[in-house]
Amino acid sequence: MSEPALPHAHRHHHPERHFTGGEFVRDTVLGMADGLTVPFALAAGLTGAIESTGLIVTAGVAEIAAGAIAMGLGGYLAARSQAEHYASERHREQTEVHEKPAAEMAEITEIFSQYGITAEESAPVVNALRRRPQAWVDFMMRFELGLERPRPQRALISAMTIGGAYVAGGLVPLVPYMTLTSARDALSVSIGITVVALAAFGYVKGRFTGMPPVRSAIQTVLVGGVAAAVAFGLARLLS
* Residue 2 pLDDT greater than 60, yes or no: no
φ, ψ for residue 133 (rounded to 5)?
-55, -40
Does residue 60 contact residue 45 with C-beta atoms inside 8 Å?
Answer: no
81-117: b (≥16 Cβ within 10 Å) or e: ebbeebeebbeebbeebeeeeeebbebbbebbeeeee
* Neighbour tally for 177: CB within 10 Å: 28
**What percentage of the chain reaches a pLDDT higher than 70?**
87
CA dihedral 227, 233, 238, 239 (to 10 degrees): 110
pLDDT, position 3: 47
Q: What is the pTM of this model?
A: 0.71
pLDDT, position 239: 61
DSSP 182: B
pLDDT, position 222: 86
SS3 label, residue 52: strand
User: Which whole number is the average pLDDT over 119-133?
Assistant: 80
- Res. 68 pLDDT band, cuts 50 70 90: very high
User: Which whole number is the average pLDDT over 118-145?
Assistant: 80
Ranking 68-77, 109-118, 143-152, 186-195 by mean pLDDT, the lowest is: 143-152
- Where in the chain are the domains? 23-238
User: Which whole number is the average pLDDT over 175-182?
Assistant: 89
